Amino acid sequence: MDSIQRDLKSAEQAPVVVVRAVSYAYGDGAYRKTVLANVDLVLEPGKFVVLTGHSGAGKTTLLTLIGAIRSLQHGCIDVLGMRLTAGSDRQSRDVRRRIGFIFQDHNLFSAISVFRTLWLATELQDRPLSRSEATGKALQILTLLNMAEQLHALPGELSTGQKQRVAVARALMNDPKLILGDEPTASLDHASSLLVVNLIKEHVLRNGASALIVTHDERIFEFADHVMRLEDGKMVLQK
Ligand SMILES: Nc1ncnc2c1ncn2[C@@H]1O[C@H](COP(=O)(O)OP(=O)(O)OP(=O)(O)O)[C@@H](O)[C@H]1O
Ligand SMILES: [Mg+2]
Protein backbone atom coordinates (compact mmCIF):
# COMPACT_ATOMS: atom_id res chain seq x y z
CA MET A 1 0.00 0.00 0.00
CA ASP A 2 1.56 3.36 -0.96
CA SER A 3 1.40 6.36 1.30
CA ILE A 4 -1.51 8.03 -0.53
CA GLN A 5 -3.60 4.87 -0.24
CA ARG A 6 -2.61 4.63 3.41
CA ASP A 7 -3.68 8.25 4.00
CA LEU A 8 -6.99 7.62 2.24
CA LYS A 9 -7.58 4.48 4.27
CA SER A 10 -6.89 6.21 7.56
CA ALA A 11 -9.08 9.17 6.54
CA GLU A 12 -11.93 6.70 5.90
CA GLN A 13 -11.52 5.19 9.32
CA ALA A 14 -11.02 8.44 11.23
CA PRO A 15 -14.02 9.50 13.31
CA VAL A 16 -16.35 11.87 11.49
CA VAL A 17 -16.98 13.89 14.64
CA VAL A 18 -15.07 14.12 17.92
CA VAL A 19 -16.60 16.32 20.62
CA ARG A 20 -14.19 16.99 23.47
CA ALA A 21 -15.06 18.56 26.81
CA VAL A 22 -17.71 20.84 25.34
CA SER A 23 -19.58 23.06 27.77
CA TYR A 24 -22.22 25.60 26.85
CA ALA A 25 -24.30 28.09 28.82
CA TYR A 26 -27.00 30.57 27.82
CA GLY A 27 -27.41 33.96 29.52
CA ASP A 28 -25.25 35.90 31.96
CA GLY A 29 -24.97 36.48 35.68
CA ALA A 30 -28.01 35.34 37.62
CA TYR A 31 -29.64 34.25 34.34
CA ARG A 32 -26.76 32.03 33.32
CA LYS A 33 -27.92 28.51 32.59
CA THR A 34 -25.47 25.69 31.83
CA VAL A 35 -26.93 23.37 29.21
CA LEU A 36 -23.92 21.22 28.32
CA ALA A 37 -21.30 20.36 30.95
CA ASN A 38 -18.13 18.71 29.68
CA VAL A 39 -19.74 16.65 26.94
CA ASP A 40 -17.72 14.11 24.93
CA LEU A 41 -18.91 12.23 21.87
CA VAL A 42 -17.29 10.31 19.02
CA LEU A 43 -19.09 9.49 15.76
CA GLU A 44 -17.45 6.75 13.74
CA PRO A 45 -17.92 6.37 9.97
CA GLY A 46 -20.76 4.09 8.94
CA LYS A 47 -22.70 4.65 12.17
CA PHE A 48 -26.25 5.78 12.79
CA VAL A 49 -26.37 7.30 16.27
CA VAL A 50 -29.46 8.50 18.07
CA LEU A 51 -29.32 11.40 20.51
CA THR A 52 -32.18 11.58 22.98
CA GLY A 53 -33.06 13.31 26.23
CA HIS A 54 -35.97 15.28 27.66
CA SER A 55 -37.17 18.56 26.18
CA GLY A 56 -34.67 21.29 27.06
CA ALA A 57 -31.82 18.81 27.67
CA GLY A 58 -29.60 20.56 25.13
CA LYS A 59 -29.92 18.29 22.08
CA THR A 60 -30.48 21.07 19.55
CA THR A 61 -27.75 23.13 21.20
CA LEU A 62 -25.24 20.30 20.75
CA LEU A 63 -26.35 19.67 17.15
CA THR A 64 -25.91 23.34 16.24
CA LEU A 65 -22.44 23.38 17.84
CA ILE A 66 -21.35 20.29 15.87
CA GLY A 67 -22.85 21.79 12.71
CA ALA A 68 -20.95 25.08 13.23
CA ILE A 69 -24.20 27.05 13.32
CA ARG A 70 -23.45 28.16 16.88
CA SER A 71 -20.02 29.22 18.16
CA LEU A 72 -18.30 27.17 20.82
CA GLN A 73 -17.66 28.57 24.29
CA HIS A 74 -15.53 25.81 25.82
CA GLY A 75 -13.99 22.64 24.46
CA CYS A 76 -13.40 21.67 20.86
CA ILE A 77 -15.05 19.71 18.10
CA ASP A 78 -13.37 18.01 15.15
CA VAL A 79 -15.81 17.72 12.26
CA LEU A 80 -14.85 16.08 8.97
CA GLY A 81 -11.19 16.74 9.66
CA MET A 82 -11.71 20.41 10.58
CA ARG A 83 -11.29 21.76 14.08
CA LEU A 84 -13.84 24.05 15.69
CA THR A 85 -12.87 25.94 18.82
CA ALA A 86 -14.18 29.09 20.48
CA GLY A 87 -13.67 31.87 17.93
CA SER A 88 -12.90 29.62 14.95
CA ASP A 89 -15.60 31.20 12.80
CA ARG A 90 -13.55 31.09 9.62
CA GLN A 91 -13.81 27.29 9.52
CA SER A 92 -17.53 27.34 10.08
CA ARG A 93 -18.73 27.96 6.53
CA ASP A 94 -16.59 25.14 5.15
CA VAL A 95 -17.88 22.78 7.78
CA ARG A 96 -21.52 23.78 7.26
CA ARG A 97 -21.63 23.23 3.54
CA ARG A 98 -20.32 19.69 3.93
CA ILE A 99 -23.06 18.61 6.34
CA GLY A 100 -26.56 17.41 5.50
CA PHE A 101 -28.86 19.18 7.97
CA ILE A 102 -32.44 18.25 8.71
CA PHE A 103 -33.87 20.93 10.97
CA GLN A 104 -36.71 20.72 13.48
CA ASP A 105 -38.84 23.03 11.29
CA HIS A 106 -38.46 22.12 7.64
CA ASN A 107 -37.23 25.52 6.43
CA LEU A 108 -38.83 25.26 3.00
CA PHE A 109 -39.62 28.42 1.02
CA SER A 110 -43.23 28.59 -0.11
CA ALA A 111 -42.47 29.80 -3.65
CA ILE A 112 -39.78 27.21 -4.37
CA SER A 113 -40.75 23.80 -5.76
CA VAL A 114 -39.46 20.51 -4.40
CA PHE A 115 -37.16 20.10 -7.39
CA ARG A 116 -35.73 23.64 -7.08
CA THR A 117 -35.22 23.15 -3.35
CA LEU A 118 -33.21 20.00 -3.99
CA TRP A 119 -31.27 21.48 -6.88
CA LEU A 120 -30.45 24.65 -4.91
CA ALA A 121 -28.98 22.49 -2.16
CA THR A 122 -26.22 21.44 -4.57
CA GLU A 123 -25.35 25.00 -5.59
CA LEU A 124 -22.89 25.76 -2.82
CA GLN A 125 -20.75 22.79 -3.74
CA ASP A 126 -17.51 22.92 -5.71
CA ARG A 127 -19.23 21.27 -8.64
CA PRO A 128 -22.95 22.13 -8.75
CA LEU A 129 -25.15 19.59 -10.54
CA SER A 130 -26.65 20.32 -13.98
CA ARG A 131 -30.45 20.32 -14.27
CA SER A 132 -30.53 16.78 -15.65
CA GLU A 133 -28.08 15.47 -13.05
CA ALA A 134 -30.11 17.13 -10.30
CA THR A 135 -33.36 15.70 -11.69
CA GLY A 136 -31.88 12.20 -11.70
CA LYS A 137 -30.54 12.49 -8.20
CA ALA A 138 -33.71 14.12 -6.82
CA LEU A 139 -35.92 11.42 -8.34
CA GLN A 140 -33.67 8.68 -7.03
CA ILE A 141 -33.95 9.98 -3.46
CA LEU A 142 -37.63 10.98 -3.65
CA THR A 143 -38.57 7.55 -5.01
CA LEU A 144 -37.06 5.93 -1.92
CA LEU A 145 -39.18 8.30 0.17
CA ASN A 146 -42.38 7.60 -1.82
CA MET A 147 -42.37 11.21 -3.03
CA ALA A 148 -41.42 11.00 -6.73
CA GLU A 149 -44.84 12.30 -7.79
CA GLN A 150 -44.27 15.50 -5.81
CA LEU A 151 -41.09 16.47 -7.71
CA HIS A 152 -42.61 19.70 -9.03
CA ALA A 153 -44.97 20.46 -6.14
CA LEU A 154 -44.77 23.64 -4.05
CA PRO A 155 -44.50 23.33 -0.25
CA GLY A 156 -48.08 24.64 0.12
CA GLU A 157 -49.31 21.59 -1.76
CA LEU A 158 -47.58 19.16 0.60
CA SER A 159 -48.63 17.67 3.92
CA THR A 160 -46.42 18.25 6.96
CA GLY A 161 -44.99 14.76 6.66
CA GLN A 162 -44.25 15.27 2.96
CA LYS A 163 -42.44 18.55 3.73
CA GLN A 164 -40.41 16.71 6.29
CA ARG A 165 -39.41 14.11 3.69
CA VAL A 166 -38.35 16.90 1.30
CA ALA A 167 -36.11 18.22 4.08
CA VAL A 168 -34.59 14.74 4.40
CA ALA A 169 -34.08 14.50 0.62
CA ARG A 170 -32.44 17.94 0.59
CA ALA A 171 -29.98 16.85 3.26
CA LEU A 172 -28.88 13.90 1.13
CA MET A 173 -28.48 15.70 -2.22
CA ASN A 174 -24.75 16.32 -1.76
CA ASP A 175 -23.84 12.87 -0.46
CA PRO A 176 -22.73 14.40 2.85
CA LYS A 177 -20.29 12.55 5.09
CA LEU A 178 -22.22 13.80 8.09
CA ILE A 179 -25.98 14.05 8.58
CA LEU A 180 -27.35 16.00 11.53
CA GLY A 181 -31.06 15.53 12.03
CA ASP A 182 -33.26 17.27 14.59
CA GLU A 183 -36.42 15.19 14.99
CA PRO A 184 -36.49 14.29 11.28
CA THR A 185 -39.39 11.87 11.78
CA ALA A 186 -41.46 13.96 14.21
CA SER A 187 -44.46 14.45 11.93
CA LEU A 188 -44.30 11.11 10.14
CA ASP A 189 -46.37 7.97 10.62
CA HIS A 190 -44.48 4.82 11.49
CA ALA A 191 -44.19 3.57 7.88
CA SER A 192 -42.76 6.90 6.66
CA SER A 193 -40.43 7.11 9.67
CA LEU A 194 -39.02 3.73 8.69
CA LEU A 195 -38.47 4.92 5.11
CA VAL A 196 -36.53 7.91 6.41
CA VAL A 197 -34.48 5.92 8.93
CA ASN A 198 -33.63 3.22 6.40
CA LEU A 199 -32.65 5.79 3.79
CA ILE A 200 -30.31 7.56 6.21
CA LYS A 201 -28.89 4.25 7.45
CA GLU A 202 -28.24 3.06 3.93
CA HIS A 203 -26.60 6.36 3.01
CA VAL A 204 -24.37 6.15 6.05
CA LEU A 205 -23.26 2.59 5.33
CA ARG A 206 -22.71 3.12 1.62
CA ASN A 207 -20.72 6.36 1.97
CA GLY A 208 -18.82 5.71 5.20
CA ALA A 209 -20.73 8.72 6.52
CA SER A 210 -22.25 9.06 9.94
CA ALA A 211 -25.57 10.34 11.20
CA LEU A 212 -26.47 11.93 14.51
CA ILE A 213 -30.23 11.95 14.78
CA VAL A 214 -32.14 13.62 17.61
CA THR A 215 -35.36 11.81 18.38
CA HIS A 216 -37.80 10.99 21.15
CA ASP A 217 -39.24 8.15 19.10
CA GLU A 218 -38.18 4.98 20.88
CA ARG A 219 -39.20 2.89 17.86
CA ILE A 220 -36.16 4.32 16.09
CA PHE A 221 -33.76 3.28 18.85
CA GLU A 222 -33.63 -0.33 17.64
CA PHE A 223 -32.21 0.82 14.29
CA ALA A 224 -29.42 2.81 15.91
CA ASP A 225 -25.86 1.58 16.38
CA HIS A 226 -25.77 3.63 19.57
CA VAL A 227 -28.26 5.63 21.60
CA MET A 228 -26.83 8.56 23.55
CA ARG A 229 -28.84 10.44 26.15
CA LEU A 230 -28.26 13.98 27.38
CA GLU A 231 -29.07 14.17 31.08
CA ASP A 232 -28.30 17.13 33.34
CA GLY A 233 -25.80 18.43 30.80
CA LYS A 234 -23.91 15.11 30.62
CA MET A 235 -23.76 12.50 27.89
CA VAL A 236 -24.85 9.01 28.89
CA LEU A 237 -24.51 5.92 26.70
CA GLN A 238 -27.86 4.12 26.68
CA LYS A 239 -27.15 1.52 23.97
N1 LIG B 1 -31.23 31.21 22.50
C2 LIG B 1 -31.45 30.78 23.75
N3 LIG B 1 -31.37 31.64 24.81
C4 LIG B 1 -31.55 31.20 26.06
N5 LIG B 1 -31.82 29.93 26.39
C6 LIG B 1 -31.92 29.04 25.39
C7 LIG B 1 -31.74 29.42 24.02
N8 LIG B 1 -31.88 28.32 23.26
C9 LIG B 1 -32.13 27.31 24.11
N10 LIG B 1 -32.16 27.74 25.38
C11 LIG B 1 -32.40 26.90 26.57
O12 LIG B 1 -31.39 25.89 26.62
C13 LIG B 1 -31.95 24.65 26.98
C14 LIG B 1 -31.62 23.62 25.92
O15 LIG B 1 -32.30 23.95 24.74
P16 LIG B 1 -32.27 22.99 23.47
O17 LIG B 1 -33.06 23.66 22.42
O18 LIG B 1 -30.86 22.65 23.15
O19 LIG B 1 -33.03 21.70 24.05
P20 LIG B 1 -33.54 20.40 23.30
O21 LIG B 1 -32.96 19.23 24.03
O22 LIG B 1 -33.28 20.50 21.86
O23 LIG B 1 -35.13 20.44 23.58
P24 LIG B 1 -36.36 19.97 22.64
O25 LIG B 1 -36.43 18.46 22.79
O26 LIG B 1 -37.54 20.62 23.28
O27 LIG B 1 -36.12 20.41 21.24
C28 LIG B 1 -33.44 24.88 27.19
O29 LIG B 1 -33.66 25.03 28.57
C30 LIG B 1 -33.73 26.17 26.49
O31 LIG B 1 -34.73 26.88 27.13
MG1 LIG C 1 -34.51 20.68 20.17
Query: Which residues are close to ligand 2, an ion, with C-beta < 5 A?
Result: 60
CA separation, residue 63 to residues 99, 122, 181 (Å) = 11, 22, 8
- From ligand 1's centre to the CA of 60, what distance in Å? 7
Residue 171 pLDDT > 90, yes or no? yes
- For residue 55, the CA-to-ligand 2 centroid distance in Å is 7
Q: Which atom of ligand 1 is nearest to the CA of 62?
A: 18
pLDDT band at 10 (very low <50, low <70, confident <90, very high): low
pLDDT at 1 over 60: no
Q: Does the CB atom of residue 56 touch ligand 1 within 6 A? A: yes
What is the per-residue pLDDT across 54-108, written as a single tens digit (0 to 9) for each? 999 999 999 999 999 999 999 999 999 999 988 777 778 888 989 999 987 778 9
- Quote the CA–CA distance of 24 and 62 in Å, as a whole number: 9
Asked if 88 and 127 touch (Cβ cutoff 8 Å), the reply is no
Over the range 228-237, which residues count as b (16 or more CB within 10 Å of their CB) and which as e?
A: bbbeebebee
Mean predicted confidence (pLDDT) in 126-137:
92
- Is pTM beyond 0.85 here? yes
11-237, CATH topology level = Rossmann fold (3.40.50)
- For strands 17-26 and 48-52, give the pairing: unpaired
C-alpha separations of 188 from 14, 52, 84, 183, 228 in Å: 33, 18, 34, 10, 22
Cα(56) to centroid of ligand 1, in Å?
5
pLDDT over threshold 80, residue 192: yes
- % of the chain residues with pLDDT over 90: 79
Task: Check pocket membership of 57 for ligand 1, CB cut-off 6 A.
Answer: yes
- Cβ–ligand 1 contact at 59 (below 6 Å): yes
- State whether the beta carbon of 35 lies less than 6 angstroms from ligand 1: yes
Ligand 1 close to Cβ of residue 61 (< 6 A): yes
Q: Where are the domains of the chain?
A: 11-237
pLDDT tops 90 at residue 228: yes
Q: How far is the CA of 57 from the centre of ligand 2 (A)?
A: 8
Any atom of ligand 1 within 6 Å of the Cβ of 53: yes
Pocket flag, ligand 1, residue 55 (CB < 6 Å): yes
